[in-house]
Structure 1
Amino acid sequence: MTMPYPALRFTGASILRDGEMQSRSIAIADGRITRGPLPEVDLSGYLVLPGIIDLHGDAFERHIAPRPSAPFPPLVGLRGADRDAAANGVTTAYLAQSWSWEGGKRSPDYALRMMQALRDYAPRALTDLRLQIRCETHTVDTADRLLAAIRAHGIDYVVFNNHLDEAEMLQQARPEALFAWAKDAGRTPEEHLAVVKAAQKQKAQVPRYLCRLAEGFDTLGVTYGSHDDPDGETRETYSMIGAKICEFPTSRAAAALAHAVGDPVLMGAPNVVRGGSQSGNIAAEDLIRAGLCDALVSDYYYPALHLAAFHLVDTGVMTLPQAWAMISDTPARILRMPDRGRLDPGRRADLTVIHAQSRAIEMTISGGRITHLAGEAAHRLAGCAPALTALAAE
């Protein structure tokens, strides 16, 4: 059963409009932000902010496999991830799915399963769920298959990354970690090492492969970038072939090069909330303070998105409108989604409603439909039920 579009006017709240918090009302109807007299819900004491747009999240992996040895069907995992995103104010979410030689849940076969699972689940989704493909650079024999899959499933966002260096390092310094990696991929250590060596042999073909993909992405209208750039030279190389998004640079030099050539830099919100990278890379807050980070993403934890925005406010780095733009307006512009990211009339009705005192997300509206409702906001909405019923009867 399709959820109805409520027609409501929210009053009394502090609303983010035109780059500042304003005391005004906001109306939604037919899935859009609108104007006009509608049944009112008093949201005094709340903040109404644009819905969060998450450009990279892999928390869905934990919903599909809460333990490595206990996987669930992709559709079950997608349902859990969908609700997790909605409960944390996310209205558009890119699920970061690998396309890699690494095997298992990072293999091209599994990526195709996820594409089909998301297509099957999409009509029931609360959140606008999309797949981001993380394409390993040393997968040169999959070009035709990847481009066909992107065309067939409407994938609009790809990032390149290279885990081969990590595999080579583990092979030398921590063979036990490489063996665990092999186990996750369903391989013996010997089989996994053979795959690593086969990938290493592709090195000379990789530049031409990436250029071919870049040309295909341009034809298909796909936005693309790179992940974990270690230095400015790597970022410059990707930028030159059109991979303009710099996702999770691991050094200040990579972020600075991206900024110098106008490439948007994305960092993880958990990095901001926790005060640094869990893997020992550069601190996201340092890049933000230096003006070298444009947007924040959930990475592995949806609650970090709004927590990071308030952290930046509390530490005096940014105002709330500036911090919130890093998880709403700016991501919308980066992925060329002009219908969302701001609370302007005519745009998609994507709203995150936060209790101003507790900072708890109590209501999420995605595409005009209520996808999460809790706390006092639920009681206030219930209070206008008679007016909604009367409107429906008309």
Structure 2
Amino acid sequence: MNSPFPAPSFTKSCDTSTTNDICLANAQLVLADQVLTGSITIEQGVITDIVEGDVVPNGAVDCAGDLVLPGLVELHTDNVERHMEPRPKVDWPHLPALLAHDAELASTGITTVFDAMRVGSIYSSQKGQYVEYARTLANELLTARAEGLFKISHFLHLRAEICSETLLEELATFSVDDRVGIVSLMDHTPGQRQFRDLTALKTYVAKKRGMNDAEFAEHVENQINLQKRYGAKHEVGAVSEAKRLGAVLASHDDTTGEHVATSAKNGVGFAEFPTTVEAAEAC
């Protein structure tokens, strides 16, 4: 919530015993420029007063020193996918999954979320293939949002899988009316970025998809071939689509200074999860 006051007034009491307003007292208030013990009064969703001190007026909620701070903003979470598929090969009904996801985030102090959805699927491989789902899920999420079913604010974050077969076709199904906030460039080609260590990749996919050694080797070869066929085209196309949608462009798993330079050239607005000190310093 935004306060109309530039600084604590330290003048009024926050007696809400005869109103429907809210007063949170004896709290650690996280303000723009300081943290202080005090009370905060909220009237019809707007902060109207801040008073310093540990007094708990009549009708106020005694926070007993707990923090009161602005709602957190989650830029990238795969949490909704976890609720959609709580166990391998279990496709949970999407609306209950979305509502559980929403409630879970609200309980942690997150009040705005950019829900990450993968765009870019793989149909040529028979094992561990990526199947398209983002457009359908986005429709369900936007409908639930329009009906006021969520506790917090939801926006779209499209995870553009460069190493896929259908990225540009899937991105084309979205429009500015969807209010896509973020498009992040993902390149999970084995042997670089997040998966420079093939041992770590093997552990990850074997656990998630149940691959044996031969299947894993085939998976690696297929991913590398996809990157060779589509990588450059998909990167250029995803950057263009982000501009069309009015979304902020994000990089993902920058590992080298060269990765960061490429991200900057593409007009990336922020970097998600640089994986090395070199990349972090370059960012």
The answer to whether the Cα contact below 8 Å between 1:101 and 1:107 also exists between their aligned partners in 2 is: yes
Scaled by the length of structure 2, what TM-score is found? 0.72
CA contact (8 A) 1:101 1:195 kept: no
Does the 8 A contact of 1:231 with 1:253 survive in 2?
Answer: yes
Which amino acid is the alignment partner of residue 153 of structure 2? D
- Aligned pairs for 1:242-257 within 5 A: 242-257=267-282
Unaligned runs of 5+ in 2: 1-19, 52-57
In structure 2, distance between residues paired with 1:106 and 1:116: 23
Query: Which residue, 103, 110, 129 being the options, matches 2:133?
Result: 110
Deviation per residue, 1:27-79 (Å, 9 max, x gap):
22333333499963333432211111111111222222221133311211111
- SS at 1:80's partner residue? helix
Amino acid of the structure 2 residue aligned with 1:30: Q
| 2: CA distance, partners of 1:179 / 1:42 | 50
Q: Report 1:190-229 matches (<5 A).
A: 196=223, 199-203=226-230, 206-229=231-254
Contact 1:230 1:250 survives alignment (8 Å): yes
> Residue 66 of structure 1 aligns with which residue?
86
Task: Note the C-alpha offset of 1:81.
Answer: 1.1
Alignment of 1:1-394 (within 5 A): 7-35=21-49, 40-102=60-122, 107=130, 109-122=132-145, 123-139=148-164, 141-165=166-190, 196=223, 199-203=226-230, 206-258=231-283
Is the 2:163–2:187 contact (alpha carbons within 8 Å) kept by the matching residues of 1?
yes
Distance 1:33 1:164, change over 3 A: same
Range with greater deviation from structure 2 (125-134 or 153-162): 125-134
Distance 1:183 1:115, change over 3 A: farther
Q: Which has the higher contact order (CA 8 A, sep 6+)?
A: 1
| Cα distance in 1 for residues equivalent to 2:200 and 2:108 | 39
Q: CA deviation at 1:227?
A: 1.0
Matched residue SS, 2:151: coil
Deviation for aligned residue 1:125: 0.4
**Which of 1 and 2 has greater Rg?**
2
Shift of 1:240: 0.9
- 2:121–2:167 CA contact under 8 A, matched in 1: no
Deviation at 1:198? Answer: 5.5
Letter in 1 for 2:83: H
Of the structure 1 ranges 30-39 and 248-257, higher mean CA displacement relative to structure 2 is found in: 30-39
Cα distance in 2 between the residues matched to 1:222 and 1:97: 14
- Does the 8 Å CA contact 1:10/1:41 hold for their aligned counterparts? yes
Contact 1:82 1:126 in 2 (8 A): yes
Kindly provide the amino acid, as one letter, of the partner of residue 29 in structure 1.
E
8 Å CA contact retained: 1:140, 1:209: no
Q: 1:217 to 1:106 in 2, by over 3 A?
A: farther
Counterpart contact for 2:162–2:227, Cα < 8 Å: no
Asked if structure 2 preserves the Cα contact closer than 8 Å seen for 1:99 and 1:108, the reply is no
State whether residues 132 and 156 of structure 1, in contact with CA within 8 Å, keep that contact through their aligned partners in structure 2.
yes
Matched residue, 1:389: none
Q: Aligned with 1:67: secondary structure?
A: coil
| Residues 282-326 of structure 1: per-residue CA shift (max 9 Å, x gap) | xxxxxxxxxxxxxxxxxxxxxxxxxxxxxxxxxxxxxxxxxxxxx
Distance 1:29 1:195 in 2: 58
More helix by share: 1
Secondary structure of 1:130's counterpart equals strand
Question: SS where residue 156 of structure 1 aligns?
Answer: strand
List gaps (5 residues or longer) in structure 1.
1-5, 259-394
Q: What is the aligned residue count?
A: 248
- Kept in 1, the 8 Å contact 2:184–2:249? The answer is yes
Task: Please state how far the C-alpha of 1:183 moved relative to its aligned partner.
Answer: 6.5
Secondary structure in structure 2 of the residue aligned to 1:28? strand
String of CA shifts for 1:215-240, please: whole Å, max 9, x gaps: 34234321111111121111110111
Deviations 1:95-154 (A, max 9, x none): 222123356998472111221121122220012122321111234754254044143422
Residue type of the alignment partner of 1:217 = A
Two-structure CA RMSD over aligned residues (Å): 3.7
